[in-house]
Amino acid sequence: MEKPQNFTEFWDFYVAEHSAPQTRILHFIGSMLGILILALLLGKGLWYLFPLCLVPSYGLAWYSHFFIEHNRPATFKYPVWSFIGDWKMVWLMLTGKMTGEVQRVTEQNKSGTIQPDFAAR
C-alpha cells in the first residue's frame, strides 16, 4: 500500500499495529508516566529536563512492539502521526472506545479493506 496521505488513513494502520491488549496497556502506562514526569519537572521549574518524560513513554511502547506485537514501531517512520495516534488511543481507552476500534479494524483486515504494510518493513 502507498504511504498514508492523512491521519485518517494512518489511523487504521496504527490500530492494527496495536491489536494486542498488552501493547495498548503498556502504551497507556508509558503515556501516563510521561505526563506525570512532565508535570513534576514543570512543577519544580526543571522544564529543560522535559526529554526525561519521553523515556517511559517510548520505552514501554517500543518494548511492546518488539516483544509483544513483533512489529516495528510506527514512530520510526511516522513520528508525528504516531504521536497523535498514541494520544488518540489513550483518549479512546479512557472513554472505553478503543476495543471497538480494534474490533472494527480487525474486521476490515479480515475483509481485505486495510493493508497493514504502511511501515514498509
54 φ, ψ (degrees, to nearest 5) = -80, -20
Q: What is the DSSP letter of 19?
A: -
For 67-115, the pLDDT digits (tens) are: 999 999 999 999 999 999 999 999 999 999 999 999 999 998 887 655 5
For 47-65, the pLDDT digits (tens) are: 999 999 999 999 999 999 9
- What is d(CA 101, CA 52) in angstroms, rounded to the nearest whole number? 31
* 119 confidence band (pLDDT: 50, 70, 90): very low
CB half-sphere exposure, 102, CA atoms < 13 A: 15
pLDDT computed for residue 110 by the predictor:
83
pLDDT computed for residue 120 by the predictor:
42
115 φ, ψ (degrees, to nearest 5) = -105, 100
- What is d(CA 99, CA 89) in angstroms, rounded to the nearest whole number? 10
Q: Give the residue from 101, 86, 100, 102 showing the smallest Cα distance to 32.
A: 86
pLDDT computed for residue 4 by the predictor:
87
Q: Is the pLDDT of residue 121 over 60?
A: no
Residue with cell 512492539: 65
- pTM: predicted TM-score of the whole model, two decimal places: 0.85
Helices (H) and strands (E) in the chain, counts: 5, 0
C-alpha cell at 29: 502506562
CB 26 within 8 A of CB 32: no
- Dmax over CA atoms of the chain, in Å, equals 52
